[in-house]
Chain A
Amino acid sequence: MSRSLTRWLATGLVLGLAAFTAAPASAQSTLDAVKKRGKLLCGVSPSSAGFAFADDKGVRRGFDVDICRAVSAAVFGDPGKVDFIPLNTNVRFQALQSGEVDILSRQTTVTFTRDTTLGLDFGPTVVYDGQGLMVHKKLGVTSAAELKGAAICLLPGTTTLQNLADYFRPKNIQYEAVVFESTDEWRNAFFSGRCDVITSDRSDVASVRAVANNPNDFVILPETISKEPLAPVVRQGDANWRDIVSWTVNALIAAEEKGINSDNVEQQTKSQDPEVQRMLGVTGDFGKALGLDNKWALNAIKGVGNYAEMWERNLGEKTALGMTRGPNKLWTEGGLLYTPPFR
């Protein structure tokens, strides 16, 4: 080795070490990062009818997509400033932890372990769901108790995988669990008859049925075998960002309660209701408390509509999913949707 080369190498080593010992850049707040980027990064399902899917023009649509659009509208005044990043169940939490997305809006169930060990925080529940089972109609099954020995298609790293084991274990029902990484393979394996049963959240099962060639070939069993509160997820340790996501969702639900929708939201600024005035930024400075424009909630509602509009557009009875609101009605109508007051 020539002398000069050795010297260069030695210098390189020293410089490399110096670079390594330099302190890592301090963490920036999520809101600042989002504003600086000019775009919200939102993790969604790769393809799940009603929740997140690309339509024939390549535009992403769905309930989970709308949650991110609402946050984008609250932050930027424009629901369109979102990049959607499709994530499989198995990589979703790592993507959020490592900062690849700012918000995970992906039919994700709140659980104790996820909340306490993953370094994540959950926003308000957006869909009160439960696990359902769908079978091929020609098998003539009417109840989950008959499923002894059946092959069941599942997705890995989901609560449904564990719930199923929990549900059948005390009943001593053996089954063949076939687990797929990709949602497409998972659906196709069920449609082709590799599995007798497919299971996921009821809303997700409805979504699978909606994309079947002939939805009438499949029946969803009556049992709901678990609680699946689905909520948007953010990184732990950024209270402001969590507040923004939570209160944006709360605003969409409160808007339904107050009769505010995407069409009348501008007129509603003349409302005499003090809570509506505070929410829409006519009085007070709620936006400033979040680090946002005072019209944050108004923009969110204008961008995607209130909760009822989002439901009807993506999941409701006029869509292929045909879901009734069930527990997802307002508390005033006997449902579970109940937001803290805007005060």
Chain B
Amino acid sequence: MSVPTIHDASLLRLVYNVRVRAILYQVLAVAAVVLAGLYLFGNMSAKLAEQNIATGFGYLGREAGFTISQAFIEYKPSDTYAMALLVGILNTVWVSAIGCVLATVIGTVVGIARMSSNPLLSWLMLAYVEALRNVPLLLYLFLWYALIVAILPNVRDALQPLPYVYLSNGGLTVPALRWSPAHTGVLLALLAGIAAAVLVVRRARARRVATGREGTAWPLALAALLVPPVVAGLLLQPEMAVNWPEKGRFRLSGGLHLTPEFTALLVGLSLSASAGVAEIVRSGIQSVGKGQWEASRALGLRDNGAMRLVVLPQALRVIIPPMTNTYLSLFKNSSLAIAIGYPDLVMVSNTTMNQTGQAIEAIALFMLVYLGLSLTISFGMNRYNARVALKER
């Protein structure tokens, strides 16, 4: 055994230093992960090249060559794969967004009804919740789709509950406004008006809190709300023509058309998620102590006011975090669309992947889109949560 020199001793001391060690291990761990990732990526590239499989994202600029049955932006088969992917993303976002709204509304009603003192109602709601949350969503999607397609008549014998409203196994078709860029302009102006009105009301409230003087803000708010869309309407002159559905030889043309695939997916997603929402709402409200109700009544609040002003603000703190989860899973579950033929992001990606053979790129891309959109939902919900969370001062 050699005699340790001064140099060795200081090195040893450095190695045994707790902080140096802590940092060293973290650096090593990160390096290991990065190296593993690089190795896997290199291995994949080498294998793909060896098997003569095309790589890279160049395919996104090539012509897609397939049709998509539902598109919110103008799309033709001669457009690029990137365009087709965008159509798929919009379809996913569209069905998820409406699904979240519906699930929240239905779930809240069911959750409150579940606490009803009427046994028939509360048991019925219990049955609803248990039936929906204990069977896989995929089976429900098949069920709803099969019901729509099997029970409703063919397009040629479509039901007409109202004039010009057609319901058949080809979907629901209703009259719609013949949309033009002018309409989009008025819509944008209306949104701007709403934003301006909200701003006016907020400032009025802030002034009231600051000065204690009650001002009359409503005429200004009304003006802020109405002026932009009216001005836009006068300037742009949107044509108020109705796009009536018309019976063709096979299908209906014109009007607003909801496909059975979309309807089945929307119903499946929102009903299944509503069962979760109902339980979240119920548990949230029940988490607020009985004493809060009693105290509100003692202050002279009616049930309605007690709920709105005292119980709900406290319940929201419990409700919001699990609701974020519900929204996220609804959004991700929308990828089951592929089973019943709704052209969502996954279906478009799958078709792309199959036509181009670039599976890794296509899957990486759609995972990235899901990740990005999920993080956006989380971010929004976390912001809202921060607003309703208990503020400890």
Contacts and interface: CB of A to CB of B under 8 A. Distances in A.
Contacts, number: 141
Interface in A10-51: 10, 13, 16-17, 20-21, 24, 27
Given A156-B350, A192-B150, A151 B251 contact: yes
Interface in B330-364: 338-341, 343, 347, 350-351, 353-359
Interface residues of B, number: 52
Interface string A277-314: 00000000000000000000000000000000000000
B250 A196 contact: yes
A212 interface: no
Interface in B1-45: 21, 25, 28-29, 32, 35-36, 39, 43
Interface string A143-170: 0001111110000111001101110010
A182 to B, nearest CB: 7
Nearest to B153: A193
A179 B251 contact: no
A151 B39 CA distance: 48
B51 interface: yes
B169 A192 contact: yes
A180 interface: yes
Contacts of A151: 170, 250-251
A114 B339 contact: no
A169 B340 CA distance: 26
A256 to B, nearest CB: 34
B50 interface: yes
B69 interface: yes
Contact of B54 (A117, A139, A179, A185): A117
A146 B249 contact: yes
A93 B146 CA distance: 30
Most chain B Cβ neighbours within 10 Å, of A10, A93, A151: A151
A194 B170 contact: yes
Most chain B Cβ neighbours within 10 Å, of A27, A176, A182: A176
Interface stretch (B60-68, B181-189, B321-329): B60-68
A189 interface: yes
Contacts of B350: 90, 156-157, 181
Contacts of B51: 97, 119, 235-237
A89 interface: yes
A181 B359 CA distance: 16
Most chain B Cβ neighbours within 10 Å, of A9, A10, A89, A118: A118
A177 B348 CA distance: 13
Nearest to A150: B250
A319 interface: no
Contacts of B160: none
Interface of B: 21, 25, 28-29, 32, 35-36, 39, 43, 48, 50-54, 65-69, 77-78, 146, 149-150, 154-155, 169-170, 248-251, 253, 259-261, 338-341, 343, 347, 350-351, 353-359
12 contacts: A13-B29, A13-B32, A89-B354, A94-B359, A97-B53, A118-B54, A148-B248, A148-B250, A149-B248, A178-B341, A179-B347, A192-B150
Given A182-B339, A193-B154, 7 more contacts: A6-B25, A148-B249, A162-B355, A185-B340, A185-B341, A193-B155, A194-B149
